[in-house]
């Protein structure tokens, strides 16, 4: 009696390797979505904190009454706004679009699935900090007086340090050429800073603003 070959049965359950890979993908996507929401919330929080910044609010730079806070985001908002303006001055506002773009990038990574990333996550942040410092340096050179209600000058501590470094370099060329050297270095800082900002935010706004 001829025997009939038995076809191997197809596996019904996934293998352990496939299950673990799927779990890792799910966890990564959950982490990306959570981080995207946190960054977007941080952008809104910082925007409201900077918009309602008041010099008399309690912060490490002032000795105001902790019970009287005019900042819309409370004591935490007063502290955050003071730190950003103290370190970067007015260019610190550029942190807001960076937070939004970073949040949007994480969300798009979730939508793209396993597609490889083309840019390291830390690269835009590093370039933006350099650009902010360069622009703050220019403000530190242009506006040498007090920064009004700001905790430091218009360029913050970054602008003061950058302007001091440029003046120290220019002083080595003598009194006759010092002003021209400062002007040249200031224009260079401005040009490089604007170029970096253009590179960082050279994005497709139609895709960025799409739902």
Q: Is residue 55 part of a domain?
A: yes
**Which of residues 13 and 43 earns the better pLDDT score?**
43
Q: Is residue 158 part of a domain?
A: yes
Identify which of 10-24, 116-130, 175-189 has the greatest average pLDDT. 175-189
For 59, residues 6+ apart whose C-beta sits below 8 A from its C-beta are 78, 79, 81, 82, 83, 151
Question: Is residue 86 predicted with pLDDT exceeding 60?
Answer: yes
Q: Is residue 7 part of a domain?
A: no
Q: Is residue 8 part of a domain?
A: no
Question: Is residue 89 predicted with pLDDT exceeding 90?
Answer: yes
> What pLDDT, on the 0 to 100 scale, is given for residue 16?
75
Q: Is residue 130 part of a domain?
A: yes
Domain range for 113 is: 23-208
DSSP state of 6: P
Q: What is the pLDDT of residues 33-82, one digit of tens each?
A: 898 899 999 999 999 999 999 888 888 777 667 778 889 999 999 999 99
Q: Is residue 39 part of a domain?
A: yes
Q: Is residue 59 part of a domain?
A: yes
> What pLDDT, on the 0 to 100 scale, is given for residue 108?
78
User: Would you say 196 and 128 are in contact if contact means Cβ atoms under 8 Å apart?
Assistant: yes
User: Would you say 83 and 60 are in contact if contact means Cβ atoms under 8 Å apart?
Assistant: yes
Q: What is the pLDDT of residues 178-187, one digit of tens each?
A: 999 999 999 9
What are the percentages of helix, strand and coil residues in the chain, rounded to 5? Answer: 65, 0, 35
How many distinct structural domains can be found in the chain?
1
Q: Is residue 9 part of a domain?
A: no
């Amino acid at each position: 009696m001829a025997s009939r070959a038995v076809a191997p049965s197809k596996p019904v359950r996934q293998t352990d390797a496939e299950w673990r890979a799927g779990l890792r993908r799910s966890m990564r996507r959950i982490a990306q979505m959570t981080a995207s929401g946190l960054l977007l919330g941080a952008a809104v929080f910082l925007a409201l904190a900077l918009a309602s910044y008041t010099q008399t609010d309690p912060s490490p730079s002032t000795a105001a009454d902790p019970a009287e806070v005019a900042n819309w985001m409370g004591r935490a908002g007063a502290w955050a706004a003071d730190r950003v303006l103290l370190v970067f001055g007015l260019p610190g506002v550029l942190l807001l679009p960076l937070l939004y773009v970073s949040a949007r990038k994480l969300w798009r990574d979730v939508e793209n699935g396993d597609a490889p990333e083309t840019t390291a996550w830390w690269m835009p942040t590093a370039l933006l900090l350099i650009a902010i410092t360069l622009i703050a340096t220019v403000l530190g050179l242009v506006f040498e007086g007090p920064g009004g209600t700001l905790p430091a000058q218009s360029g913050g501590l970054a602008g003061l340090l950058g302007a001091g470094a440029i003046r120290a370099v220019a002083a080595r060329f003598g009194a006759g050429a010092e002003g021209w050297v400062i002007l040249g270095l200031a224009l260079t800082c401005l040009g490089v800073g604007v170029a970096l900002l253009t590179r960082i935010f050279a994005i497709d706004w139609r895709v960025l603003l799409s739902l």
